[in-house]
Amino acid sequence: MQIEWIIERCNEVLFGLNKGQDPVASLKIKELDQNLAEATRHGMLSVVMESLSKTRISDPEKKKVILKWYGASEKSKKNYWKRIGLMERLALQFKNAGLEVMFLKGATTAKLYPEPQLRMFGDIDYYMFGDTDKSVLALKELGIETEEYFNHHTQASFEGVLLENHYDFLDRDNHRGNHELDDELKRLAAKEGHQYPFTFENPEVDNAYSMSPTMNAIFLMRHMAIHFFSESVPIRMLYDWALFQKKFVGEVNWGTTLELYKKAGMSKFPGMIQCILNSKLGVTIPECPIEPICGKETERIWESIIEPPASNTNKKNSVRYLLFEARLFFSNRWKHSIVFENESYWFLFVSYTWQYLKKKIVG
């Protein structure tokens, strides 16, 4: 019931699909609160609150519940604008150093929403067209210290916001299926990475870019697959994918993209996600050549989305924390076979363990 209610609110705001029913009238106060908490967990609170803002609510107790979550929604919107401001400052700093930057993930998918601040936005991810080392020096001039991470990007903090500077788009150390994807993304970044500027209000920022549609078709699906394996897929990622297709389906080189999905070892996963868009979210994109794959395995994916594993609340790196993570890793083995076909599950376990130990020893 909760997820269906959330989907109805999101479809109204994002796709104009309004059933014309009062979204609050049939809910008890506790149910309303639980639904909004679930929308928050899936990263869709601001979208749901946008829907509720059009509803007249007379029950004072329900008003209190909505006002409580309204505050959280407004905070999320402010976080978006804060990050946009930081991105502008980063881009100008890189420009002064003669560098170009490509912003990834939340920064760019937010532009697909009716109002970008409706999209929850956490870390700032970017790619420096091969000039990672120079960009680290440019950050240092702002007093931002960069640290190495496990693989494919460095990390830094800028006014409390995590910066992820991608020297690789994807993790090449642990998944050989990512090699061809990453190679192609870098090739496309060089070939068409300057065709989609990332614009700010400040016209001086003319060195920032977004991924091309084909790059996003490759990256967003692989990113979703990795999240599916390691944690879960929030509803937000499904809507990111649906909105992306609605706008750019005709600009993607689907021949290259579909072939890369297979080479990366996720020949079925995109079709399963397409089935979930159609059958669970009620969103269809007829122009998309990804054939929906429905069935028991897809239903299991959907169940893992609406009932994800519990969060690890133990102290980080404690014995309990590591045991929790190990149990989660082994319980996700069924997911591994869907998104990392023909890759060794045990190799991944040993690789993760070695990288963790190496970081502890070195760092």
pLDDT tens digits, one per residue of 22-43: 888 889 999 999 999 999 999 9
The angle formed by the CA atoms of residues 257, 116 and 129, to the nearest 5 degrees, is 50
Give the DSSP letter of residue 309: P
Residue 356 neighbours by CB distance under 10 Å: 14
Instruction: Fill in the amino acid letter for 329.
Output: F
Looking at every residue in the chain, the average pLDDT score rounds to 90
Q: What is the pLDDT of residues 53-87, one digit of tens each?
A: 888 888 889 999 999 999 999 999 999 999 999 99
Residue 53 neighbours by CB distance under 10 Å: 11
pLDDT at residue 140, rounded to an integer: 94
Distance CA 178, CA 261 (A): 10
pLDDT at residue 211, rounded to an integer: 96
pLDDT at residue 317, rounded to an integer: 64
Predicted model pTM: 0.91
Judge whether 74 lies within some domain. no
Judge whether 355 lies within some domain. no
pLDDT at residue 358, rounded to an integer: 56
pLDDT at residue 336, rounded to an integer: 87
Q: pLDDT over 70 for what percent of the chain?
A: 91
Say what angle helices 254-263 and 269-279 make with each other, to 10 degrees. Answer: 120
Residue of 310, 249, 253 whose CA lies nearest to 277: 249
- Number of folded domains that form the chain: 1
Q: What is the pLDDT of residues 262-287, one digit of tens each?
A: 999 999 999 999 999 999 999 999 99
Judge whether 21 lies within some domain. yes
Say what angle helices 45-52 and 29-41 make with each other, to 10 degrees. Answer: 140
Judge whether 52 lies within some domain. yes
Judge whether 5 lies within some domain. yes
Q: What is the DSSP code string of 134-176?
A: HHHHHHHHTTPPEE--SSSEEEEEETTEEEEEESSSS-TTT-T
Domain region containing 35: 1-58
Average pLDDT over residues 181-206: 96
Whether the CB-CB separation of 120 and 46 falls below 8 Å is answered with yes
Judge whether 105 lies within some domain. no
Give the DSSP letter of residue 315: P
Judge whether 164 lies within some domain. no
Which of 138-152, 213-227, 348-362: highest mean pLDDT?
213-227
Distance CA 100, CA 96 (A): 10
- Which pLDDT band, with edges at 50, 70 and 90, does 347 fall under? low
- Which pLDDT band, with edges at 50, 70 and 90, does 2 fall under? confident
pLDDT at residue 149, rounded to an integer: 74
Whether the CB-CB separation of 343 and 177 falls below 8 Å is answered with yes
Q: What is the DSSP code string of 9-75?
A: HHHHHHH-------TTTT--HHHHHHHHHHHHHTT-HHHHHHHHTTS----HHHHHHHHHHHHHHHH
Judge whether 80 lies within some domain. no
Query: Counting runs of H as helices and runs of E as strands, what totals does the chain give?
Result: 15, 6
Query: What six digits make up the tokens of 197?
Result: 């500027």
Whether the CB-CB separation of 244 and 51 falls below 8 Å is answered with no
Computed from CA positions of residues 173, 335, 244, 35, in that sequence, does the dihedral angle turn out positive or negative? negative
End-to-end CA distance of the chain: 47
Distance CA 254, CA 52 (A): 37
The β-bridge partners of 208 are 101
pLDDT at residue 314, rounded to an integer: 67
362 has pLDDT over 60: no
- Which helix (H) or strand (E) segment is 104 a member of? strand 101-104
